Structure 1
Amino acid sequence: MAESFFNRELELAELETAWATPGAALVTLWGRRRVGKSTLLSHFAAGKRSVYLYGTRMTERDILADLALQAAAAFDDAYLRSAPFPTWDAALDYLARQARNQRLLVVFDEFPYLCEMTEGLDTLVQRWWDRVHQSAQLMLVLAGSGFSFMEGLTGARGALHGRRTAQVAVHPFDYLDAAQFFLHLNAEDKVRAYACFGGMPAYLRHLVGKGGLAEQVRRTFLSPGHVLFREGEELLRTEFHQEALYASILRAVASGEARPSDIARAAGRHSAVDIFDHLRRLQELRFLRREVSITEWQRPRSHRVVYRLADPYLRFWFRFVSPYQSFLQLGKGAEVWSREIRPSLDEFIGRTAWEEVCTQHLWRLLRKDQIQARFTQLGRWWDGKDEIDLVGLWRDRVTLVGECKWTAARVDSGMLTALQRKAAKLPLDGEPLWVLASRSGFDLALQERATRGEVLLVTPDSLFL
């Protein structure tokens, strides 16, 4: 199994740069729940003069008492242990005094919860920051899971507008980083494992031993005593007050519904208007991803809108675990695997994860200058008749066109011909880079064309070179 902390070099470097810069620094850090924000911040704080407060839905009095204990431990302040901070003003002023002559790191993790329990806390922090930042050697990190809340803090109408000195985003691992947790699997099963467990470190750490994919899924998802068996429910319960409707929406999307009106009907509502706010909230928390045809990405009001589950774990959980939870409670995990999951898994991957993995791979190739095409946008294209899995754009011109197939049959030259026919509808920038991705390889004619540079061929094995 992979080490408990790894592969956050970029995020750590951003934080270390802020720490090393003289003067006060106000950093916002955003990342989905379970992505490893707290682990990252704890790792960053180790060895530094620091105070770390994790926000919970406790009373303000209990939160301030917790903050006093953390500060007392950091500064060996016996008085503070017996006399907690009476107000946030008192707590913040104390921290500012501690940063007057020595560098101090203060982390408020899950800051949205702190603001929820103390109305106007963001404004209070703003006024305090304006008063002390010029005379304090202070690095303040505000971290949270709600993207719109964290962006709103420093947006045009936010209390901390114009005060942020750096921002850090913590994303799930992509397919290649996630594979560090199951190195013993073959290339195809690494793709399958990513399609099941996704890239959240908190989930990947449950992959232990050298067992195959079937054993790992049965031991985790399909075992009623395991945390991953109920994690989908726990996420909903933590984030939403109307848990049932949000679950219905996610279940509808997991079953294949994509258009807002179809999702609404499947969730028992009359029209898309009835779930508009719910869809927006699910987007904000990165449960759902809103997609438009790639050539319309600059048109926010496009009518060609679909929604997809953004997280591989949730896709798998809603498709294969949630519908069978009562049966699984009877200890029938092996039967659910053999009857429902194993026969359908490759079709599920072809419909959801394979295209996503190939997209991540192309971005990696671009980052390393290992691909001839240049693009700033990469996504799907569709109209009323045709659909293309991968289209890369440079400004408004198409530079890359690709198709992804996760089937047991080899891909032949006919697929490239069909792809070129569909691509004639696109605003091509000369001859684009043609990309074909196949689980089972390619015929000899395509392999020969690839050696001449006419097409880029992607297989599971090539993803992990």
Structure 2
Amino acid sequence: MISTFVDREPELELLNREWENSGARLIVLYGRRRIGKTRLLLEFIRGREGVFYIAADSTPKQQIGELKEKMAEYLRDPLLAQLEITDWNQLLKYFVKNVPDKRTYLVIDEFSYMIRSDKTILSTLQRLWDLKFSNTNIFIVLSGSLLGLMGKKVLSQSSPLYGRRSRDILLDKLPFSFTGDFSGMNFEDRVKLYMTIGGVPEYLLKASEYETFTDFIELEFFRKDGYFYREPYFIISQEFKELKTYFSILNAIAYGSTRPGEIANSVGIDARKIYPYLDNLIRLGFVERTVPIVSSGKAGIYTIKDNLFDFWFNFVHKHRERMERGAFILRNDELSGYLGKRFEIFVRDDLFNYIPLSNRFDRIGKWWHRDREIDLVALNEKSREILFIECKWKDMSHGGAKRELGKLEEKSEHVLYDSSRTDFGLIVKSIDEKEDLRQSGYLVMDLSDFRSKIG
């Protein structure tokens, strides 16, 4: 299992630069559970002095007591350790009064738990920042995993801390190219893995225990004691009070309801009331709204954006009863169909920059109209260049590829776009006689091409 620090250098460099700046600093670090915030912060504080506290999802009294112990230990202050402190104002005032003049960190991880247990900590911190902390050499980092709470209570204009923070950092998923640092699986299995769990470091660490993708999903998704068997349920329950409603919406989308009216009907709520729920799911990165890239209309469809959620709802939630009985057997055609659906998203988000023509285009998306659909369309609005791509999770023959490209050319004639140059591409799992198709002017790539570029 990997133990080194992987690909958080930009965020670490940003924290280091802020540390070198003079005066008090207030940094907000946020990102989903298991994305690597704690690991980044531990790397950042290495060789530096201060207080590092990971808040528990508990009462304010317990949180205050735990942080008081950490502060007393750092300050070497037995008096503080014995003091009966019952509120945040008292504790933080004591700390700022006794903290050394030198650069000192106060890192609070899982700060969102502290907000949830006592919202007054925000106004207390704001008041003490204005009156005390801002005149010191303190370096405060507030880190949280509950994205909705962090966004609304810490980052929004209505937050007491608005205008006080020096920097906010969103820690996002790792790029696909780093899966090789975690997993010894072959390239195709790494692609399947990423389409299933995305670039969450903790998830990739769990996958690193397995040699094949099949073993990984069978033991960690499809068994009751598996690591991922309840993971999305836990994430959703942490973020939303209306657990059943959000769960039903995600399930409806996973089952193919993609328009607001369809989703509302499936869930059983008024169509006009579905939009706030969808907006919240989009804000947290669980769902995305897509419109045809070339279209005069505004009608869009909703799909599950999060890799883990999409796989989980399509397999674990769908087949949970059989999994509970130990009777679930994964069908290869069902898995292949699912991977085919995710593959076009994977190409769009993670492989497109490795395509030779990619630097010509500034927009990429999907196109559809009535019964016609094109997986990916890339545009350069200034030069009016356009690239049409079909993405197929298949082992394709030379003849099959030619037929697919012919269909693509036919469908492209229905896209209303006045282009100066038009190219056509096909990206598949594997393909025969690629060079012949390339000589004919097509962009043709399979996994072996990306493996040579990514490693």
Do they fold alike, i.e. is TM over 0.5?
yes
Per the alignment, do residues 390 and 285 of structure 1 end up closer, same or farther by CA in structure 2, a change over 3 Å counting?
same
Comparing 110-119 with 247-256, greater Cα deviation is found at 110-119
Q: What residue in structure 1 maps to residue 335 of structure 2?
A: 345
SS of structure 1 residue aligned to 2:394: coil
1:420 positional shift? 4.2
SS of structure 2 residue aligned to 1:439: strand
Matched, 1:329 2:324: yes
Q: Within 5 Å, which residues of 2 pair with 1:18-417?
A: 18-99=18-99, 101-147=101-147, 149-152=149-152, 153-185=154-186, 187-267=187-267, 269-295=268-294, 303-332=298-327, 335-337=328-330, 340=331, 342-352=332-342, 354-362=343-351, 364-365=353-354, 371=357, 373-394=359-380, 399-410=386-397, 412-417=401-406
Q: Partners in 2 of 1:243 and 1:157 — Cα distance?
A: 25
SS of structure 2 residue aligned to 1:101: coil
Cα-to-partner distance string for 1:47-99 (whole Å, 9 max, x where unaligned): 32122233344222221111101212222222222225332222222333355
Q: Partners in 2 of 1:371 and 1:331 — Cα distance?
A: 48
Q: CA RMSD in A?
A: 2.8
Mapped contact 1:145–1:285 kept (Cα < 8 A): no
Q: Partners in 2 of 1:346 and 1:104 — Cα distance?
A: 53
1:392 positional shift? 3.1
From 419, 427, 439, give the equivalent of 1:449: 439
Mapped contact 1:413–1:446 kept (Cα < 8 A): no
Comparing 234-243 with 213-222, greater Cα deviation is found at 234-243
Q: Report how many aligned residue pairs link the two structures.
A: 447
Q: Partners in 2 of 1:464 and 1:428 — Cα distance?
A: 35
For 2:259, give the aligned amino acid: R
Q: Partners in 2 of 1:446 and 1:159 — Cα distance?
A: 63
Gaps of 5+ in 1: none
Mapped contact 2:352–2:358 kept (Cα < 8 A): no
1:350 positional shift? 0.8
SS of structure 1 residue aligned to 2:150: helix
Cα-to-partner distance string for 1:78-129 (whole Å, 9 max, x where unaligned): 2222225332222222333355511111222233332222233323222222
Per the alignment, do residues 84 and 146 of structure 1 end up closer, same or farther by CA in structure 2, a change over 3 Å counting?
same
In the TM superposition, structure 1's runs of 4+ consecutive aligned residues that sit over 6 Å from their partners are none
For 2:303, give the aligned amino acid: R
Q: Partners in 1 of 2:139 and 2:412 — Cα distance?
A: 51
1:276 positional shift? 2.5
Q: Partners in 1 of 2:148 and 2:324 — Cα distance?
A: 37
Q: What residue in structure 2 maps to residue 12 of structure 1?
A: 12
1:355 positional shift? 1.4
Q: Partners in 2 of 1:85 and 1:61 — Cα distance?
A: 9
Per the alignment, do residues 406 and 363 of structure 1 end up closer, same or farther by CA in structure 2, a change over 3 Å counting?
closer
Q: TM-score, normalised by structure 2?
A: 0.88
Mapped contact 1:434–1:456 kept (Cα < 8 A): yes
For 1:316, give the aligned amino acid: F
For 1:241, give the aligned amino acid: K
1:161 positional shift? 2.7
Comparing 143-152 with 240-249, greater Cα deviation is found at 143-152
For 1:279, give the aligned amino acid: L
Per the alignment, do residues 398 and 427 of structure 1 end up closer, same or farther by CA in structure 2, a change over 3 Å counting?
farther
Q: TM-score, normalised by structure 1?
A: 0.86
SS of structure 1 residue aligned to 2:359: coil
Gaps of 5+ in 2: none
1:146 positional shift? 4.2
1:217 positional shift? 1.7
Per the alignment, do residues 192 and 154 of structure 1 end up closer, same or farther by CA in structure 2, a change over 3 Å counting?
closer
Mapped contact 2:185–2:213 kept (Cα < 8 A): no
Mapped contact 1:373–1:433 kept (Cα < 8 A): no
1:307 positional shift? 1.6
SS of structure 2 residue aligned to 1:205: helix
For 2:274, give the aligned amino acid: I
1:400 positional shift? 4.0
Mapped contact 2:35–2:172 kept (Cα < 8 A): yes
Q: Partners in 2 of 1:315 and 1:169 — Cα distance?
A: 22
Mapped contact 1:398–1:426 kept (Cα < 8 A): no
Mapped contact 2:148–2:239 kept (Cα < 8 A): no
SS of structure 2 residue aligned to 1:171: coil
Percent identity reads 27
